[in-house]
Copies of this chain bind each other. A is one copy, B any other.
Amino acid sequence: MKVSVRKREIIKVASQLFKDKGYNAVSMRDIALELGIKAASLYNHIEGKQEILSILVLDLAKEFTLGMNKIASSELSPTQKIEQLIEMHIDITVTQSEALAALNNDWMHLEGEDLKSFIEMRDDYEENFRSIIKAGIANKEIKNYHPEVILFSILSTLRTLYLWYQKRGKLDVNVLKKDMVAVLLKGII
């Protein structure tokens, strides 16, 4: 897994363009222009457009998987696990919003084995999250609403947080974490 400096630059520039316009609306010439080189020169560093997307999406998906496994297998209570998950999402949002945008919006443009393994990781992640919620309900820590409703109301918020963090980016991360955990767990009224 050797990744040259130039390759990282290309991926970074591409991810910024993908975030604004989406994978399909960004051409190799767009990426090259931003770097001040010609499109053909990109191929000295990367295999192709697909590889950029794969790296962006799969690397981040692996990071989520790793974090989830660590939290899920810990000795924390369900509620504490959810708190940790919320904080992990916020940390990733703050440091990697471009890759997160690609993961959210452009994963379906992956191909072959990459697409398969992404979907598998995503399903596993959700299944782990669901189990934590169910354990909390069985536990009486969490109210007895439909687990699916709880799952997606939390996950939707966390997944699209990157859209808001850039717009109203002045929020301090620790304030955000504190209020976010409170709103998602204890409600607003």
Question: What residues of B have a CB within 8 angstroms of the CB of A148 in the complex?
Answer: 164, 168, 171
The contact size tier of chain A is: 35 or more
B143 touches A189 (CB 8 A): yes
A188: contacting residue among B21, B25, B150, B168, CB under 8 A: B150
A184 touches B182 (CB 8 A): no
- Nearest B residue to A21, CB-CB: B108
Tell yes or no: A157 within 8 A of B by CB. Answer: yes
Complex: how many Å from CA A186 to CA B132? Answer: 20
- Nearest B residue to A82, CB-CB: B188
Q: Which of A108, A149, A168, A171 has the most CB of B within 10 A?
A: A149
- Per-residue B-contact encoding for A142-153, CB less than 8 Å = 1, 0 else: 110110111011
B141 touches A189 (CB 8 A): yes
Question: What residues of B have a CB within 8 angstroms of the CB of A22 in the complex?
Answer: 22, 24, 105, 108-109
A25 touches B109 (CB 8 A): yes
Tell yes or no: A159 within 8 A of B by CB. Answer: yes
Tell yes or no: A176 within 8 A of B by CB. Answer: yes
Question: What residues of B have a CB within 8 angstroms of the CB of A180 in the complex?
Answer: 149, 153
Tell yes or no: A187 within 8 A of B by CB. Answer: yes
From residue A71, how far is it (CB to closest CB) to chain B in Å?
A: 17
3 smallest beta-carbon distances between A and B, as pairs: A187-B187, A24-B24, A186-B187
Tell yes or no: A156 within 8 A of B by CB. Answer: yes
Tell yes or no: A32 within 8 A of B by CB. Answer: no
B179 touches A188 (CB 8 A): no
From residue A82, how far is it (CB to closest CB) to chain B in Å?
A: 8
Question: What residues of B have a CB within 8 angstroms of the CB of A179 in the complex?
Answer: 145-146, 149
A184: contacting residue among B109, B160, B164, B188, CB under 8 A: B188
Tell yes or no: A161 within 8 A of B by CB. Answer: yes
Q: Which of A145, A152, A153, A164 has the most CB of B within 10 A?
A: A153
